[in-house]
Chains A and B, each alone.
Chain A
Amino acid sequence: MEENKTTGFTPADYKNSQNARWCPGCGDHAILNVLHKAMAELGIAPKDTAVISGIGCSSRLPYYMNTYGMHTIHGRAAAIATGVKTANPDLTVWQISGDGDGLAIGGNHFIHAVRRNVDINILLFNNKIYGLTKGQYSPTSDRGFVSKSSPYGTVEDPFIPAELCFGARGNFFARSIDILLDNSRECMVAAARHKGTAVVEIMQNCVIFNHGIHEYFANKENRENHTIILRHGEKMLFGKDNSKGLVQKGFGLKAVTIGEDGYTIDDILVHDAHCAENFLQQQLAMMDGHELPLALGVIRDYDAPVYDLEVDRQTEEIKAKKGYSNLRDMILKTCDHWEIK
């Protein structure tokens, strides 16, 4: 595999000899390959990288990495990754979770990791189904979804991961589709470079239990009109030959065709991923590919205080201020004591 000219690492440096055991055609294969490439581009040595996962198909990923890694228990990857990163902020920590692992059993840890803004990169593989347990609906399955555990259709609404991330005061959210290799890689690289919790939702196809769930925006014919790739500082254009764009309408967004209804290129919004106010970013993230195109790319990337660094900073400050040499020194300087001779 090709060496990254700047970093000197190749994707092969991050790949181990195990054959990935996902089903043939599973979207996870593509995501894994892209992750190897993203890591080579980032140039953080395998020895300084830790990949933590929970349970589920996607969570097997650490076994196919030549980095440090841990395949843990269902739903707890965010908590374990928080421990790894807080213990040693010098490590680059990735969390791999599916929609069940990350948002159902692990929902609590997910929102708290995001709220805390610990510097981990969460890759959320969203296939709207439980694959490893062979086809039950997940917390991202649409209302009415028929599965083995909802034979008559679900009677509950799903989470929209972006909405949850924004609701937990997230500072980085990006989205891609498993088959969009370049966009996935760009999102992963941006996530790793962002300081703080970064959530990358990857719309992933489960060929066995939920094949085609993302077809309406993912398939080649629909994609141009049903998705938009956002880039900071660029106009929000989509459609064949970028003929369409997004404009602000009242408090919401509207898709228009340039040159129609009096809209010109000057009316089209320019994306700002870095602004503190997240209102418009959230509107973009909530577009679902039907009336408005599904937003891909880095939607929000805002710098805020980072948990693990704050823990370190505070510890060093207090340590320096108090200046105790060890436990005994601290006890003798702070506790009432007496001598027995």
Chain B
Amino acid sequence: MSKETNVKTIDRVVIRFAGDSGDGMQLAGNIFSNISAGEGNEISTFPDYPAEIRAPQGSLSGVSGYQVSVGKDVHTPGDAADVLVAMNPAALKTNLKYLRPDGIIICDEESFTPANLKKAEYASADPVAELGIDPKRIMLVPMTTLLKHTLSDSGLDQKGMMKCKNMLALGVVCWLFDRPVESVLKKLEAKFAKKPAIYEANAKVVQAGWDYGHNTHASMPVYRIETSTSQPGTYIDVTGNTATAWGLIMASEKSGRPLFLGSYPITPATDILHELAKRKDLGVKAIQMEDEIAGVCSAIGASYAGRLAVTSTSGPGLSLKSEGIGLAVMAELPLVVVDVQRGGPSTGLPTKTEQTDLMQALYGRNGESPLCVVAATSPTDCFDMAFNAAKIAVEHMTPVILLTDAFIANGSSAWRVPEESDYPEIKPHFPTKEQIENGWKPYDRTTDFARFWAVPGTEGAMHRVGGLEKDFNTSVISTDGPNHQKMVDIRRKKVAEIANDIPLIKPLFDEDEPDTILVGWGGTYGHLRTAATLLNEEGHKVAFQQFRYINPLPANAIETLNRYKRIIVAELNTGMFADYLQMHLPGKEILRINKVEGQPFLVKEIVDGVKKFMDVK
């Protein structure tokens, strides 16, 4: 960095990369967030891609985006971007709304061809004027010319050159935010290890982009992004789906039960299957079954056979698995069901985020069918909650539904790679030899009302389980009325008992005993927490609690919430968690902030919503 360059320090910055689905925007964004994390920044990313794999090039529907927030106290990918990188007129048009009014645009000026302008449905030949953009805010880069100059002796044809365009844009962004080109090169080296020619071309282009920024826009300020003071350790950038897969592996290591996944491809949950399929190298058996039902059923079979059994899916798949999950409730077998929520009902919005499966998770089965429901709050929390879900399932002999969502599943943050000792042992209850010899029965229970897990192969413990009601004492089939009542009650009690094993809630910003609390659950944590911080900074006293354990609720949840005069529940549905809390808090008015647009909350929406309820003008 030359000394005369004007360097500004900022806490955090939000950059949005937008282009055709095939433009490599996800890769550019991903490298930027990775190297920023390497510089000690906190990161949060949000890929926003269309459901179609390849929509027509240059069209409005084919634009894919990747938003990344880096800096200090980063909990969300940001409401609005400080910088928008738009690779073509369609990307500029569709993504301008995500840019702050004073934000900067980096754009390929040579993409403004008549054909592209037509495909992006512009009325004039001047998109900048047509969109009302202040020319001072837009940095028009002649990307095609730069690519041609840079790669003239690379041997690449025009198409090959154009494939490097994303790296040119990345080079410019790296200059703007004071990111060393060397760290980009390191990432590229790893990515193109087997294609040295492609690496060479991309490396040249990144440098060319950086130089272009440095030479032609030396008067623009360059930003230094504040680093955070994280816990010491080894960090990586991880998405929610990968973290979920790894949390399950950790649970397998801590329980000594080999991990089994029975699954079926479904957006946005498939990456869990992909990751666990790769993890044969750690002994994981991940099998792709013929349908969602077979996914859950094979997992139930594996659970009966003594494995840590998991099925992964998204909303429509959860519907299909309902009967199978009911069997696991009745047979009282451990099972983790991961539901990566997406827009519904039916096929809905497959690539977009929502929190609309809560009621299905809680109640979507026939009969009295209680089970444990938990939710992850962030990409990295997916690891912890997958671990916790498995721990509860195994120790309490129950199915557990883990709710994540498209936003945290595809989004990523920096994550400290844990040591094995960071996580507790998971202790399955196998019947002892002595127990078996003394007439053990399959529905005998621990003091927590959990069944014992007698694994096939165990001498003397041969037993049958199934979907029919069993006698409380003898464990054989029973249709006796009072016995059924007793069994229904004990299955419910067993799940309620889990409350003793989960952490109590402790609202944030609660020191001054405010009378208002903002409440959320699952993947909205980042936005809600940021909103609560802003509100308190502005002097509005609002406590904040995000729920990870939904059924059962933490033991002190109702008592704690009851202390507040005003409870505001913000969620990405029409009020499911609010309704659920209302059941537990009769007579208390529960205020609601809801949105069902397939997109995460904006922090501003929460802040404004809370202020409205607090009568703040």
Contacts and interface: CB of A to CB of B under 8 A. Distances in A.
A331 interface: yes
B338 to A, nearest CB: 17
A50 B291 contact: no
A73 B456 contact: no
A120 to B, nearest CB: 10
Interface stretch (B49-57, B85-93, B138-146, B457-465): B457-465
Contact of A332 (B231, B289, B293, B417): B417
Contacts of B230: 340
Contacts of A18: 476
Interface in B220-267: 230-237, 246, 249-250, 253, 258, 260, 262
Interface in A5-60: 18, 46-48, 50, 52, 55
Nearest to A88: B305
B518 interface: no
A55 B327 CA distance: 12
Interface in B464-479: 464-468, 476-477
Contact of B457 (A48, A73, A324): A48
B234 A72 contact: no
B353 interface: no
Contacts of A339: 232-235
Nearest to B227: A340
B456 A50 contact: yes
Contact of A73 (B187, B459, B467): B467
Contacts of B101: none
A315 B142 CA distance: 51
Nearest to A64: B464
A144 B416 CA distance: 68
Interface stretch (A78-86, A230-238, A257-265): A78-86
Contacts of A85: 301
B374 interface: no
B466 A311 contact: no
Contacts of A76: 293-294, 297, 324
A69 B442 CA distance: 12
A341 interface: yes
B436 to A, nearest CB: 11
A293 interface: no
Nearest to B300: A80
Given A90-B457, A328-B419, A109 B290 contact: yes
Interface residues of A, number: 55
B507 interface: no
Nearest to B238: A335
A336 B301 contact: no
A314 interface: yes
B contacts with A: majority SS: mixed
A91 B305 CA distance: 9
B148 interface: no
Name which of B290, B462, B477 has the most chain A CB atoms within 10 A of its CB.
Answer: B462
Interface string A63-76: 10111111111001
Interface string B296-330: 01111111111101000000000000011011000
B180 interface: no
Interface stretch (B11-19, B33-41, B571-579, B583-591): B33-41
B331 interface: yes
Chain B's interface size range is 35 or more
A70 B330 CA distance: 12
Contacts of B246: 327, 331
A52 B253 contact: no
A102 interface: no
B463 A79 contact: no
B492 interface: no
Given A68-B463, A331-B417, A340-B235, A88 B294 contact: no
A298 B355 CA distance: 54
Given A79-B294, A328-B420, A86 B302 contact: yes
B418 interface: yes
A223 interface: no
Name which of B326, B420, B457 has the most chain A CB atoms within 10 A of its CB.
Answer: B457
A240 interface: no
B462 A83 contact: no
Contact of B456 (A88, A332, A341): A88
A66 B235 CA distance: 52
B190 interface: yes
Contacts of B285: 86-87, 311, 315
B301 A68 contact: no
Contacts of A327: 246, 249-250, 253, 282, 420
B611 interface: no
Given A65-B464, A82-B294, A108-B290, A319 B281 contact: yes
A322 to B, nearest CB: 4
A337 B414 CA distance: 10
B382 to A, nearest CB: 14
Interface in A120-154: none
B283 A63 contact: no
Contacts of A70: 301, 304, 331, 464-466
A72 to B, nearest CB: 6
Contacts of A73: 297, 323-324, 326-327, 467
A73 B327 CA distance: 7
A90 B34 CA distance: 45
A336 B234 contact: no
Contacts of B459: 47
B235 A337 contact: yes
Contacts of A328: 417-420
Contacts of A68: 304, 456, 462-464
Given A83-B298, A319-B283, A112 B290 contact: yes
A98 interface: no
A62 interface: yes
A82 B282 contact: no
Given A48-B457, A336-B190, A71 B253 contact: no
A135 to B, nearest CB: 22
Contacts of A79: 262, 289-290, 293-294, 297-298, 301
B306 to A, nearest CB: 7
A125 to B, nearest CB: 17
Contact of B464 (A69, A321, A340): A69
Contacts of A69: 462-465
Interface in B73-123: none
A324 B456 contact: no
A326 B456 contact: no
A251 interface: no
Contact of A83 (B231, B281, B309, B461): B309
Q: List the 4 closest A-B pairs by CB distance, nearest first.
A: A83-B301, A71-B466, A83-B298, A79-B297
Given A63-B464, A70-B465, A319-B283, 17 more contacts: A47-B461, A52-B301, A67-B462, A68-B304, A69-B464, A71-B465, A71-B466, A73-B467, A76-B293, A79-B290, A79-B301, A83-B262, A91-B305, A319-B280, A319-B281, A322-B281, A324-B281
Interface of B: 34, 37-38, 40, 187, 190, 230-237, 246, 249-250, 253, 258, 260, 262, 279-285, 287, 289-291, 293-294, 297-307, 309, 323-324, 326-327, 331, 416-420, 456-468, 476-477
23 contacts: A48-B456, A50-B305, A71-B468, A72-B466, A76-B294, A80-B298, A82-B289, A82-B297, A84-B301, A84-B456, A88-B307, A109-B297, A319-B281, A319-B282, A324-B281, A326-B253, A326-B420, A327-B253, A336-B237, A337-B235, A340-B40, A340-B231, A340-B416
